[in-house]
Amino acid sequence: MQNNSFWKISLVVVLLQMGITQVVARNKPNILLLIAEDINPYLGCYGDTTAKSPTIDGLAEQGIRFSSMYSPVGVCAPSRAALMTGMFPTSIGANHMRTGGGPKAHPFRMPAYQVVLPEGMKAFTEYLREAGYFCTNNRKKDYQFANQLTFWDECHHNATWEHRSKGQPFFSVFTYLESHEQKLWESKDDTLWVTADWVAAPPYLLNDSVGKKDLAVMYSNIYRMDQRVKQELLKIKKAGLDKNTIIIFMSDNGGPMPRQKRSVYERGTRIPFIVVFPDGKDRGSVDERMLNMADIPPTILSLAGIEPPEYMDGKAFMGDFQTNTGRDFVFSIRERMDARYDKQLSVRDKHFRYVRNYLPHQPEYLDVGFRYNIPSMRRMLGNKDQLTPAQASWFIYPRPKEELYHTTEDVHEMHNLGTDSTYADQLHKMRNLADQVEENYWPFKELTEYELIDSIGNVKTLRVDKPAIIRKGNTIRLSCSTKGSSMVYQVNGDGNKLSHWRYYTHPVQLKHGDTLRVVGARAGYLESEALIYLHNK
């Protein structure tokens, strides 16, 4: 009797929750996240007079431009691990570049593997889906663990907010490849929207015709990306959603040129970040707080009215649950880049950057084959004896064990002050900050990558257990014995449309003859075998 009462009460609560969730969800803001690949703030709104970026400059005029947002490492996959979890990639063992890569991206005999997130840790989009958001990801899914059905309502080249149910709030990500490093050679014969005679090379890059041509291609690709952003904004406006959509623009890491991407310096880790609120909040303002990419997921949850989980390294800097008033310092850590290893820790406060080199016997330059395609990269390698001291410094070894740069006065970080007694106190301060990072955010520092795989990695051996059902009349509850797992389901092969999987949050109501299909998932695991259940009274 008590058991029947429990099920009746549970069913009433579930139905009430479903109704409340729908009402609450419909009042939540839409969030559109636009990610440009591989750019420093090479944009007019950041003071770059060469850049042609009218759409993004317009976003900065309408919203808030953040001047000091940094990625945790100067390359995509580890940074995207932070963007999916709100964790520093070093905290979860995701800091080596592309754990799932193939022979060209891995050292000899290094197996492809997935990072297994600790129990209870999820992709932050799961919290959005649980709250009723329709979550889509268009193109990139380099997370250091395989994409799961639980992460997104849609994740493919045609994924879009346009496929949601009527009135359902959305969180949609669009990533633009136009500005990616590989476009420096793939687009070299395309129209130049910025010509070579307009550009000025920083001191560490070639300033000849080859170097300037690469920079002109880079700026032209940024303009192409800017126009793609414009197209998505026009769709939002045409659909009448601009009055309830928060727009976020950012990059995943620093610039695509040699010595930029993959580095732990300003040119590899500082990224543009702009937020536009539909009500014009703080329109045209500049936010100078120092922030890290790991702060973005909890902030998106906060903007959606969802309290971020306490385990996240990142902290919300906007929204209902804002706790982050700005960091005293940010840090980035470089380990394996494709098939080449390094070990660097960089700490940046408002005016100084400190770099600790754990492998000083080798140069900062890493022999990463992917960038050989850049014409100026090949020119630098083939003419080392003709390089200026600034250009040649990339190849010199041994390196100092410590580096210190006055980033306010030395914007390109070319003059190491590590041995200048004038800055001894500052050096001591930055050393202490680096020690804090080692102690608090780099638990796997002493492990080789092979040992890391044995510790928390998964070489395609773990699989989520097959879900189970508990039936009471037409009400079906789902469970999965794999700790830390989530579930998605379809009824009659359909979520809100064909091939869509609903995120399981509460018991499912079935009718006679309905077929229920359920899959369990957990980051770093293989998805479960599908449970298929035919409902008969």
Cβ neighbour number for residue 33 with a 10 Å cutoff:
18
- What is the C-alpha to C-alpha distance for residues 80 and 252, in angstroms, rounded to an integer? 7
User: What is the DSSP code (8-state) at residue 371?
Assistant: G
Does the active-site annotation cover 76?
A: yes
**Are 55 and 229 contacting, i.e. CB atoms less than 8 angstroms apart?**
yes
The one catalytic residue in 76, 135, 155, 480 is 76
Return the beta strands (E) in 10-152 as ranges.
30-36, 64-70, 114-115, 134-138
Instruction: Give the β-pairing of 270-276 and 245-251.
Output: antiparallel
- What is the C-alpha to C-alpha distance for residues 346 and 266, in angstroms, rounded to an integer? 10
Q: What angle do CA 219, 220, 223 make, to 5 degrees?
A: 90
Q: Residue 371: name the closest of 411, 341, 339, 412 by CA.
A: 339
Return the beta strands (E) in 337-483 as ranges.
344-348, 352-357, 402-406, 457-458, 468-472, 475-479
- What is the C-alpha to C-alpha distance for residues 280 and 459, in angstroms, rounded to an integer? 48
Type of residue numbered 420 = D
User: What is the DSSP code (8-state) at residue 372?
Assistant: G
**Are 159 and 232 contacting, i.e. CB atoms less than 8 angstroms apart?**
no
- What is the C-alpha to C-alpha distance for residues 206 and 198, in angstroms, rounded to an integer? 15
Type of residue numbered 247 = I
Type of residue numbered 76 = C
Which residues are designated catalytic? 76
